[in-house]
Amino acid sequence: MINQNMGSKDWAMLLLLSFLWGGSFFFIGVAVTELPPLTIVTLRVGIAAITLWAVLLAAGYKVPKTLKLWRTFFVMGLLNNVIPFALIVWGQTHIGAGLASIINATTPLFTVLIAGTFLLDEHMTAQKIIGVLVGLLGVIVLIGPASLSDLGVNMNMNTAAQLAIIGAAIAYGCASVFGRRFNALGISPFSTAIGQLTASTIILLPLTLMLERPDQLAIPSLDVWLAVLCLAIFSTALGYILFFRILSSSGATNVVLVTFLVPVTASFLGWLILDEQLHNRYFVGMAFIGLGLAAIDGRLWATAKTASSQSSL
């Protein structure tokens, strides 16, 4: 059983994770100037896996060895990295990043539905559904309704790209539910992150070598290498340790709430680092996202309901 009402520690980890994944947009923005998408993804998971293996061996932690466990890692790698990364990268070659981000923010909705179906301790409730829809509305307002202008337009490639991003959101939802089993198996978040990233690298490496031939590319600049290293070490290695820690303590529904927070932290980082302007819609969107998160968490609404019932007596 997990604690569906996240404590302050889990909320802090979720906020930190949103900053790590929000910052990944900046690192990817630098890397794509000189490297093709699949090569970036493979370097991202590969360097992250090497980093965690170095920490594991230096600290003397136990290495996961059983074939059954590694089979589970490969399934998790497919659901949480290979399939969604490939679908999102392909989808964004045909639709804008804003629309892709909004569609990807449906991840909590799919997770609530999947978790409510397969997990006994993560029941699907009307309050959770309302919270997810309010949060999704907040993401749309924050990114800008104009990003939806291409939704359903061009029933060929654009529609296929939109369906690809939806497929990625469903894969993330399935991964969050599937990942709950690692806690039951007594596998630490650190070992789970290593196993998933290693399995993802093994799957992606031959595909990348075959499709993009990175061995024939020009050597990237120092800025690109620094961006890739930050993407791998901070946004991926550290990010997935936090992801699996939150998943083990607060469940699948709560951990994917980071999808709502990433656009918020990305906007904040854009203002802080790139001197981008914060529009009024950002604050309106953040307010909706905050309401949605509060509804899913439940405690604020329960307190308000209790206070209302007491005042009526």
In the block, tokens 């499709």 appear at 211
Rounded Cα gap, residues 15 and 8, in angstroms: 10
| Radius of gyration for the alpha carbons in the chain, expressed in angstroms and rounded | 20
Sign of the CA dihedral 270, 80, 187, 110? positive
Rounded Cα gap, residues 15 and 1, in angstroms: 23
The pTM of the whole model exceeds 0.85 = no
**For residues 190 and 63, is the Cβ–Cβ distance under 8 A?**
no
- 54-69 pLDDT, tens digit per residue, is 998 888 777 778 888 9
Digitized pLDDT (tens) for each residue of the chain, 313 residues in all: 555 667 889 989 999 999 998 888 788 878 888 998 889 999 999 999 999 999 988 887 777 788 889 999 999 999 999 998 888 878 877 777 667 777 888 888 888 889 888 887 777 778 888 888 888 888 888 777 776 666 655 556 777 888 888 899 899 999 999 998 888 788 888 999 999 999 999 999 999 999 999 989 899 999 999 999 999 999 999 999 999 999 888 888 888 888 888 888 877 877 777 677 777 887 888 888 888 887 777 666 666 666 666 665 5
User: What's the gap between Cα 137 and its chain centre?
Assistant: 18
Distances (CA, A) of 297 to 15, 65, 290: 14, 37, 10
Pull the structure tokens for residue 224: 């690109």
In the block, tokens 């920490």 appear at 55
Phi and psi of 241, rounded to 5°? -65, -45
Helix (H) or strand (E) holding 155: none
